Amino acid sequence: MTKLGQWLCGLALLGSAWAALALAPPGLQLPVPYRQALLPLPVYLLVAFGCYSLATVGYRLATFNDCEEAAAELQEHISAARADLRRRGLRF
């Protein structure tokens, strides 16, 4: 199954469970307070996921390494490479 397929199945499952419990088709009635709590649940979950995403990306952005040493080392390597290759007869 493709990832899209997995998502659709998952959403269908959760969606029907939510509809069954929160929208109260006759024959399956939870007490009113439960139903009222369940009704906005999808929106809450979406907002929660949004916050999680922002927090995660923000954290990862802040901890993104800057490789100062690697850059300096690379510059050294480049000079060494140019000198050595010139010695071996490379015409740049």
Partner 1 sequence: MAAGGADKFSVLLPTYNERENLPLVVWLLARTFQESGINFEIIIIDDGSPDGTQEIAEQLEKIYGSAKIVMREIISVLFLSGTAYIHGMKHATGNFIVIMDADLSHHVSLYFIKQKEGNFDIVSGTRYKGDGGVYGWDLKRKLISRGANFLTQVLLRPGASDLTGSFRLYRKEVLQKLMEKCVSKGYVFQMEMIVRARQLGYTIGEVPISFVDRVYGESKLGGNEIVSFLKGLLTLFATT
The residues of the shown chain that bind partner 1, judged by CB under 8 A, are: 2-4, 53, 56-57, 60-61, 64-68, 70-71, 73-75, 77-78, 81-82, 84-85, 88-92
- Whichever of 27 and 68 has its CB closer to partner 1, that residue is 68
- Whichever of 34 and 59 has its CB closer to partner 1, that residue is 59
State the amino acid at position 38 in one-letter form.
Answer: L
Torsions phi, psi of 87, nearest 5? Answer: -65, -35
| Contact residues for 20 (Cβ-Cβ < 8 A; gap 6+) | 28
- Whichever of 29 and 53 has its CB closer to partner 1, that residue is 53
Return the CA Rg of the chain. Answer: 29
